[in-house]
Structure 1
């Protein structure tokens, strides 16, 4: 028996192309036009080390963003006003005169935006599908990084695809990324053929081959299917790069509805989960809280900043709040 409610929620009863101008629900999926409209709306958001006082990326002892690297420029005599921390004491001792090392900040820091568009992301109980929140977060980040003068690329993955975009400092980079995201998002349908879920480790392995050092890597996912190998891959990436984890969750994962029977569907089949059963309720709660606890543990063990994002809230306002910025009033 087909589930009409699930088909309506998944948008299967309408044309979802979006590019044609026909109506579609932006809470359920995204298209190129929707993602392009995000350009310019992320002013103030920054992925550089200097963060507002209220930012979750500010002042962390072991998980702050390091930012662009430094290039050695010259060794010269000390001048009044120079930072004493820049004094080269070996040269000073050898010459008998104080000398300082002068560095300049690298012109840019390549960024890679990693976007999860697997079927596990095609869920939403309150506002957006997690896949929509991830897509919007990715493009807000990409447009802002380009505006900062840095190169941007990405890895977009679904359950049966991995698309790679090498970092570039051009509008073409954003166009390629938003096209890859929109195409992957369009494959998320309640009547899509069942396939084996893509292990998160596979796109992370692709990322590891693309970035060697001094990159910013933003991973936007619900982190479904993580294991010890995932931790090893993230640890390796963070050794020579800045890695930011954007954990996308749904409100239902944080707090189950009052004990009742929940009906879930993939558009073809449906099942009832009786959360009035104490064992079922406990198992579901532990599953949701366990993944969150594991990601937060990695934050401390590996020094990885975590940006928690909820599909139950609008994307841009919560990003601004998390980064210590005032939320613009409409």
Structure 2
């Protein structure tokens, strides 16, 4: 059986110049630069500390910012949290399988982690099951993870429910991780947002959204299909004449654009970097953009906290 990791690496070197790969590796390195993972103690915040290290509950009790100190470690742990439910067997916006895009994205992220000496693990599943593979190093291990993703996604499998994997991570995974979620085009509801806030309080969290296919092929597409469009999540069918209607298509496109804007707003409010990807050829720039968003977001939040601390060095008056 052909190596999935070899396929991913081949695409990386075909579609990216050496300078692009160097920039991508540098962006990955900046996410964990100066970070450590094992909790040691609390101490008072000083300008220059990372905002992500603030212990908000302890800060509220103490009345001034407190940050968590960590014991330095040589190796970091990256967790690929992947939706392998039935929804990921559907077509993406490019017409490719979402599964192929997920494998490529997981391969790129795993390769970056491996080249930096980090361990990579996998948490994947559906609405009925979650499976965890602990972080390890090495390309043989990464190949195993990619095969798990490939084997886990099928049209006859259980439906997707990423909240199940979020619950698993919160309940069972200890120690600070860099978690990268690869998921279907999801609109986080109130419950999912609560889970994400809790997850972000414990770990670094990034989110890569694999975009849905269009309602139907564009008019004039070679060998147009007369088959109905099918939502693989619920099995609902949309007749080809209806899906191909220009007014229906325009309304659908507008609704999906608004949905995407709302999703971006939700993730921004959660403080989680989120990036959409629609094709395997878009994976490298999407991963680069995701890492850059995460780094820039952390830097901006840190700057706001420094300004707040300078303006009120005592941490504000406590309510009596």
TM tier, smaller: 0.5 to 0.7
Q: 2:245 aligns with which of 276, 293, 298?
A: 276
Partner of 1:130: 98
Find the aligned partners of 2:213 and 2:229 in 1 and give their Cα distance. Answer: 18
> Which structure 1 residue ranges, 5 or more long, are not aligned?
1-18, 20-31, 52-63, 74-83, 87-101, 325-330
Find the aligned partners of 1:120 and 1:146 in 2 and give their Cα distance. Answer: 29
Tell me the TM-score normalized by structure 1.
0.60
Partner of 2:62: none
CA RMSD in angstroms, aligned pairs only: 4.1
Tell me the TM-score normalized by structure 2.
0.62
Give how far 1:134 is off.
Answer: 1.2
> Which structure 2 residue ranges, 5 or more long, are not aligned?
14-20, 41-46, 50-68, 293-320
Q: The residue matched to 2:3 in structure 1 has which SS? A: helix
Alignment partner of 1:35 is 2:5: yes
Partner of 2:82: 115
Partner of 1:28: none
Partner of 1:11: none
Q: What do the CA deviations read for 1:145-187 (whole angstroms, capped 9, x no partner)?
A: 12211111011224654321111234453133122112113x2
Residue pair 2:4, 2:143 contacting (<8 A) in 1 also: no
Residue pair 2:126, 2:162 contacting (<8 A) in 1 also: no
Distance 1:310 1:242, change over 3 A: same
Partner of 1:149: 117
The structure with the largest helix share of the pair is: 2
Q: The residue matched to 2:199 in structure 1 has which SS? A: helix
Residue pair 2:38, 2:71 contacting (<8 A) in 1 also: yes
Q: Which has the larger radius of gyration?
A: 1
Distance 1:108 1:256, change over 3 A: same
Give how far 1:209 is off.
Answer: 2.6
Number of aligned residue pairs: give it: 249
Find the aligned partners of 2:48 and 2:285 in 1 and give their Cα distance. Answer: 40
Residue pair 2:86, 2:126 contacting (<8 A) in 1 also: yes
